[in-house]
Amino acid sequence: MLSFWEKDEFLNYDHVIVGGGIVGLSTAISIKEADKKAQVLVLEQGTFPTGASTKNAGFACFGSLTEILADLRGLPESEVFNLVKLRWEGLQLLRTRVGDDGLDYQNLGGYELLRSSDMGAFQQMNNINEMLMPLFGEAVYHDRSEKIDQLGFNPSIVKGLVFNPFEAQLHSGKMMKSLTRLATDLGVTVLTGTSVTQFDENSNGVDVRTSRGITFRSRKLAICTNAFSKTLLPKANLVPGRGVVLVSKPIAGLKFKGTFHYDEGYYYFRNYQDRILFGGGRNLDVKGEETTAFEVRNLILEKLKTDLNNIIIPGQALEVDHVWSGIMAFGPNKQPILESHSDNVHIGVRLGGMGVAIGSKMGFELAALMLR
């Protein structure tokens, strides 16, 4: 039972945002940046954000050479260019907002490992560099195959290395803590442990119902629930996709620093200090990994361990320290969903595998819809 004080002070807002991941928090921040007086509430079902934003690999990336070539097989060049632009501008907005210290942002560069079957990518590298020239003002991808031995990769499998000096790494936990702090400093109310079960539109705005029986009232509602969106939007055109990540114990004399990908981005690894953080393998059973369950299947974990031993640090002992999974959202192509469900309800979901890059810009654009 609510008191008069609670009803008077806690229930009414101008903007309610469901989901406290990078998109939800960025939307809240953008609304407050545009309208200081707006009453903004973020409702997050987890104890802290519990989807992808605190569970990812922390790559500040915008696409490897083979990923971009794969995208060009399904989308026109202008759309692929615009996707890269969205990711790059999203990263710059995130850095400006939080600051590199708040992200533990380290611009160590990124590499793509090419196997024999991928080597054709080099023939198209100059074309892709031309395509991206208006955005970066210089070539993005460079042949650094001479470094395969120095970085310790298995030369019988890794035949080429493509270097991208613009790629960086960050600490996803620090990023989300910094974004939460920025939002609350701006006056946003963030309530965790609060699951939204339903929303109902009426002439005053939107009633937002929660699993604990409390109903919030808002003029506008933003839905930023990414992979978990079907609860509120059963017709949303997306499927969940689980991603598995492991982190090793510290490795003496680790030979590489930076971010690394192979197999069109399905596998990704990086250093975190003197550890290896390695994720991927969803392509081993794409259908089986279309789930919102936070579990790790042996099929995938074993493949990650095998690739570590065979490709990444051959012949060197390594102990896995910790393994986890997070849930992404995918659709028929890599375009996120940014749209209005009605005049008062707006949606920013389906961030795919590069939401760290896209999230801030998505929030900015979703806030513009909310403030319209």
Q: Return residues touching ligand FAD (CB under 6 A).
A: 18-24, 43-46, 49-53, 55-59, 61, 195-196, 224-228, 231-232, 243, 245, 279, 326-328, 351-357, 359
Q: How far is the CB of 140 from ligand FAD (least distance, A)?
A: 17
Rounded least distance, CB 281 to ligand FAD, Å: 10
Distances (CA, A) of 80 to 122, 125, 188, 351: 19, 15, 34, 15
Closest of 324, 336, 290, 357 to residue 22, by C-alpha: 357
Collect all residues with Cβ–Cβ distance below 8 Å to 168 and sequence separation of at least 6: 60, 61, 91, 105, 106, 107, 108, 109, 110, 259
Where does residue 46 rank: exposed (0-12), middle (13-18), buried (19+ CB within 10 A)?
Answer: middle
Q: How far apart are CA 353 and CA 60, in angstroms?
A: 11
DSSP 204: T
- Judged by beta carbon, residue 23 or residue 103, the one nearer ligand FAD is 23
Classify burial at 290, counting beta carbons within 10 Å of its beta carbon; exposed 0-12, middle 13-18, buried 19 or more: middle
Bridge partners for 13 per DSSP = 218
Of 51 and 258, CB closest to ligand FAD: 51
Q: How far is the CB of 3 from ligand FAD (least distance, A)?
A: 24
State the minimum distance, in angstroms, from the CB of residue 4 to ligand FAD.
Answer: 27
Cβ 120 to ligand FAD shortest distance, Å: 26
Nearer to ligand FAD (CB atom), residue 168 or residue 313 = 168
Residues paired with residue 347 on neighbouring β-strands, in sequence order: 223, 339
Nearest to 195 by CA among 225, 165, 238, 237: 225
143 and 123 in contact (C-beta within 8 Å)? Answer: no
Cβ proximity of 20 and 183 under 8 Å: no
Minimum CB separation from ligand FAD for residue 224, in Å? 5
Between residues 159 and 303, which has the closer beta carbon with respect to ligand FAD? 303
30 vs 53, beta carbon nearer ligand FAD:
53
∠ Cα 146 147 153 (to 5°): 120
Smallest separation, CB 184 to ligand FAD (Å)? 16
Q: Which is nearer to ligand FAD, 32 or 261 (CB)?
A: 261
Number of other residues whose CB lies within 10 A of the CB of residue 122: 16
Nearer to ligand FAD, 122 or 272 (CB): 272
CB 258, min distance to ligand FAD, A: 13
Which run of H or of E encompasses 363? Answer: helix 355-371
- On the CB side of 338, CA atoms within 13 Å amount to 21
CB of 352 to ligand FAD, least distance (A): 6
In the bound state with ligand FAD, the residue whose beta carbon lies nearer, of 51 and 160, is 51
- Kindly tell me which of 117 and 361 has the beta carbon lying closer to ligand FAD: 361
